[in-house]
Amino acid sequence: MLQALFNVSPTTKASAKVPDQPLEGASVALVIGASRYELENGAKGGSLVVAQKTSGRNDNQLGFEIIRFAMPYELFGVLKDKGLPGEYKLLVSFRSSSRFKARLRVDGIDGESYLDRDRLQTLFNLPKTGSAPAPKTGTNG
């Protein structure tokens, strides 16, 4: 049945061994936080917190969504050196998770942050001016 479904002849040999690998890709994200852990049993890991604007398709959501991804323990040090918050190109992969679900994992960071004054103004819909507005002051009577 699988042979017919995938149009594979049972007598044809594969020309080369295909390595098992996860689905991989890259995405740019606004990284706002990171944490790492090390358990007594030796297990290590971390998580990366990103924010993205809501799509506008759901009337029950406003502003930014906060999303947490798994990451390797060692990536924490890279983020510490690069600085947060930052908008980075994240190297990601889909991995198998519990209950037949896929889990997106951040495996690395490529390049430097895209976050600068112009990008911040675009992300937060701020007016593009030459200088910041003067702070408001209160009165004491």
CATH classification (class only), 23-123: mainly beta
The candidate with the shortest Cα–Cα distance to 90, out of 37, 32, 20, is: 32
Question: Residue 94 corresponds to which amino acid?
Answer: F
Kindly tell me if the per-residue pLDDT of 25 is higher than 80: yes
Give, in order, the Cα–Cα distances in Å from 28 to each of 42, 50, 118.
31, 10, 16
In angstroms, the CA 52 to CA 140 distance is: 40
- Two tokens, residue 74: 């060692």
Q: Where are the beta strands (DSSP E) in 39-80?
A: 44-53, 64-71
* 79-85-88 Cα angle (round to 5): 65
pLDDT in tens, 28-66: 999 999 999 999 999 999 999 999 988 889 999 888 899
